[in-house]
C-alpha cells in the first residue's frame, strides 16, 4: 500500500501582521476582495451589496470620528485605504472615503512605486491583471486565471467602468491627473510585462486604454487557443518554463520578494499560524500518482485582493522527472486557487511530499 504524506511549512509571510483595530478601513477593504469574488449566479448582487455595506461602514466611521488615523494609514506598499479602493475598483468605497477632509487633503499621496490613487485607478488592476503578469496565459495556470477572467464583468456597468467613475471622483476631489507618472509607476510594478507593451507605454499614451486593449486582445487569443481543448487541467501537463529547479527567475520574483518579504533575520512569530493572513489554506488532494520518493517544493505567490495571481513553484530537493514535476505543479496551483488571504501579500511557502 502506498503511503502519502504532506509536510507544509510556512517560510515567510509577506505583510504578515494584521492591523490591530478590529474593523479598520484597511481590513474592511481587504476583506472586500474575497466578498466580491465571482460566483455561479453571474448576477453580482451579493458582491455589490458587500461593497455598499463597506461604504456605509466607512461613512459611519467618518461621521463619528472624522480624520480618524485609520482612514489614511499606509501598508507595506505605502498605500492608503483610498489607494487600495482605487486600485481594486471599489467606486462606492472611494466615494465614501472622499467625504473625509483628511482623506481629501492627502488625495495626491503616492505609494512606494510613485503611484497616486488617480494613477492606480488608471491601471485598473483587476481588469488588466494579465498585462502585468503575462505568464498567466498558460493552460496549466487556469486555476489562477479563471477567477480573474470571471470577475472582470463586475467592474463594468451601463455607464462605463468603475475605474472611470473612480477617476472622475478623484479629480472632483482635487487629485492631479499625471498620466506620465501613472505609466512610470505601472512599469515599475510590472517588470515582467511584454516588451512590446512596455515599449509602447514608455513612448507615451493613455495607460488605461493601452492596458485594456492589450488584455482583451490577449484574452481573446488565449480563449481561441483553448476552444478545442478541455478547460480542465490535464492529469500530467507538459512541464512549463517555471518548473525548473535551476535557471533564471522571472522578473516578477526578482523584484517582489526583495521588496516585500520579511528580512531573513526577522524573529518568527510564536505560532506561525498567527502570522498567516489567510482564513483558508487547503492542502492539496492527492490522487493516485505513478511516482514514489521524497520531494520538496518552494512557492513564492503574489496575492491581490485576497486571491493568488501568480506563483513561482520550484523543486528544491528530491529527484523527480519533468513529467512528475509538472503534475505536482498543477496540483499546487489548484491548491492555491482555493486560498483565501484577504488583502495584498507576498507569501513564500514550502511543501514536502513523501510518497512510499
Q: Is the dihedral of CA 45, 50, 54, 57 positive or negative?
A: positive
Alpha carbons 74 and 53: distance in angstroms, whole number: 22
Decide: 305 and 15 in contact? Cβ < 8 Å.
no
Measure the CA dihedral 242/183/36/165, to 10°: -160
Closest CA to 172 of 212, 117, 239, 242: 117
Provide the residue-wise pLDDT of the chain in tens; the chain has 356 residues: 344 445 554 443 433 333 334 579 999 999 999 999 888 777 889 999 999 999 999 999 999 999 999 999 998 889 999 999 999 999 999 999 999 999 999 999 999 999 999 999 999 999 898 899 888 877 778 888 888 888 888 887 654 689 999 999 999 999 999 999 999 999 988 888 889 999 999 999 899 999 999 988 888 887 777 765 544 433 333 333 333 222 334 544 554 444 444 444 444 444 443 455 788 888 877 777 677 788 899 988 889 999 998 888 889 988 888 888 888 888 899 899 989 999 888 888 888 888 77
pTM of the model: 0.82
| Domains of the chain, residue spans | 4-15+234-355, 25-226
For the 25-226 domain, the top CATH level (class) is mainly alpha
Alpha carbons 79 and 25: distance in angstroms, whole number: 12
Alpha carbons 185 and 114: distance in angstroms, whole number: 6
Closest CA to 149 of 240, 237, 230, 215: 215
Per-residue pLDDT, 239: 32
Amino acid at each position: 500500500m502506498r503511503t502519502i504524506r504532506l509536510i507544509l511549512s510556512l517560510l515567510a509571510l509577506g505583510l504578515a501582521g494584521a492591523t490591530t483595530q478590529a474593523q479598520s478601513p484597511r481590513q474592511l477593504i481587504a476583506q472586500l476582495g474575497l466578498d466580491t469574488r465571482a460566483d455561479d449566479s453571474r448576477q453580482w448582487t451579493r458582491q455589490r451589496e458587500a461593497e455598499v455595506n463597506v461604504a456605509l461602514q466607512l461613512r459611519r466611521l467618518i461621521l463619528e470620528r472624522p480624520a480618524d488615523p485609520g482612514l489614511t494609514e499606509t501598508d507595506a506598499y505605502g498605500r492608503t485605504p483610498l489607494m487600495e479602493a482605487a486600485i481594486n475598483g471599489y467606486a462606492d468605497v472611494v466615494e465614501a472615503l472622499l467625504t473625509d477632509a483628511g482623506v481629501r487633503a492627502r488625495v495626491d499621496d503616492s505609494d512606494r512605486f510613485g503611484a497616486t490613487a488617480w494613477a492606480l485607478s488608471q491601471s485598473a488592476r483587476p481588469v488588466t491583471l494579465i498585462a502585468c503578469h503575462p505568464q498567466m496565459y498558460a493552460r496549466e495556470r487556469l486555476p489562477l486565471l479563471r477567477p480573474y477572467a470571471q470577475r472582470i464583468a463586475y467592474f463594468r456597468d451601463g455607464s462605463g467602468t468603475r475605474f472611470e467613475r473612480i477617476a472622475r471622483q478623484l479629480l472632483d476631489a482635487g487629485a492631479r491627473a499625471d498620466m506620465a507618472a501613472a505609466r512610470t509607476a505601472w512599469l515599475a510594478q510590472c517588470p515582467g510585462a511584454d516588451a512590446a507593451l512596455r515599449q509602447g507605454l514608455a513612448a507615451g499614451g493613455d495607460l488605461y486604454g493601452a492596458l485594456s486593449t492589450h488584455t482583451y486582445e490577449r484574452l481573446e487569443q488565449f480563449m481561441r487557443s483553448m476552444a478545442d481543448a478541455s478547460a480542465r487541467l490535464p492529469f500530467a501537463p507538459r512541464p512549463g518554463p517555471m518548473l525548473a529547479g535551476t535557471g533564471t527567475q522571472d522578473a516578477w520574483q526578482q523584484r517582489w520578494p526583495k521588496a516585500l518579504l520579511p528580512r531573513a533575520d526577522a524573529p518568527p512569530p510564536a505560532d506561525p499560524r498567527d502570522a498567516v493572513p489567510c482564513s483558508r489554506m487547503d492542502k492539496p488532494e492527492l490522487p493516485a500518482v505513478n511516482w514514489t520518493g521524497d520531494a520538496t517544493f518552494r512557492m513564492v505567490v503574489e496575492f491581490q485582493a485576497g486571491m493568488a495571481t501568480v506563483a513561482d513553484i520550484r523543486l528544491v530537493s528530491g529527484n523527480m522527472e519533468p513529467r512528475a514535476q509538472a503534475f505536482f505543479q498543477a496540483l499546487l496551483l489548484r491548491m492555491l486557487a482555493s486560498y483565501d488571504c484577504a488583502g495584498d501579500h507576498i507569501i513564500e511557502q514550502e511543501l514536502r511530499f513523501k510518497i512510499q
